Chains A and B, each alone.
Chain A
Amino acid sequence: MERIPILKMGDLLLVTIQVDMHDRLAIALQDDLMNRIASTSARGVLIDISALEIVDSFIGRMIGNIAAMSRVLDAETVVVGMRPAVAITLVELGLSLSGVRTALNVEKGMNLLQASLPLPAEESADGHNEE
């Protein structure tokens, strides 16, 4: 079974969902992401769903889980690119995804994540000592 690729960018993880996922693929993604967050000590997760034409309650639950579990692992999640038709349908479906932060696109999502991360520790960029 193919798995959805997870990209590491600095201390952020980026996932782009581009296929109509069957349930097992979604669960695999959830597992892979959690493992990756733990192993890389990632501080942020960006989930790009701009290619998704459908988000049903299963996928919605997956997204909610990822956000909640990531927080436990000290990482923030942002979901970006939800399509208008999908958003309207989710609201009708009754899914509020209240624990999940959202942004319009990857760029804005990254800005949001960067803004919410604490400042890096005090050390010069390349460890040089000015002498």
Chain B
Amino acid sequence: MVITKNDTVPVRSSEDIVRVRQAVRTWAIDLGFGLVDQTKLVTAASELARNTVNHGGGGTVRMEALNNAAHRGLQLTFEDHGAGIADIELALRDGYTTGSGLGLGLGGARRLANEFEIESRPGEGTRVRIVRWT
């Protein structure tokens, strides 16, 4: 699998969330994703970006354009050094929320992506990686 392009973008404010959405949209279009796939990617990115800002105290997202034998893909890795998540299973469950969200962020992002991986340690931070393939 090859990474054909990468970039790291700050995710610290609600304006950044909008910027991330726009960046993901642009990359998705360049990679040739169809409209529905683009929408799913951007929406998942929006959810995760918001988590990073609201619960992670701000962080970054690393965007990587992927290429394996059959498909192109877009990989997004959101990382923060915030409070971390104590119970990941619980956080992934729909409707669960510690803040003012609908609690769909993580579970929703997982459903919208082809690959989903999360690492989190209380007091150290959280890293969420998603990939969507064409």
Contacts and interface: CB of A to CB of B under 8 A. Distances in A.
Question: Do A and B come into direct contact in the complex, CB within 8 Å?
Answer: yes
Q: Is the interface of A mostly helix, strand, loop or mixed?
A: helix
Interface string A10-37: 0000000000111110000000000000
Interface of A: 20-24, 53-58, 60-61, 84-86, 88-89, 92-95
13 contacts: A20-B18, A20-B22, A22-B17, A54-B21, A54-B39, A56-B50, A84-B36, A85-B39, A89-B39, A89-B112, A93-B47, A95-B104, A95-B108
B97 to A, nearest CB: 10
Interface residues of B, number: 26
Contacts of A24: 14
Q: Is the interface of B mostly helix, strand, loop or mixed?
A: helix
A84 B40 CA distance: 12
The winner among A20, A54, A55, A56 for most chain B CB atoms within 10 A is A56
A89 B17 CA distance: 18
Interface of B: 14-15, 17-18, 21-22, 25, 35-36, 38-40, 42-43, 46-47, 50, 94, 101-102, 104-105, 107-108, 111-112
Contacts of B108: 57, 92-95
Q: Can you list the 7 inter-chain pairs with the closest CB atoms, starting with the nearest?
A: A85-B39, A56-B46, A23-B14, A93-B108, A57-B104, A22-B14, A57-B102
A84 B36 CA distance: 8
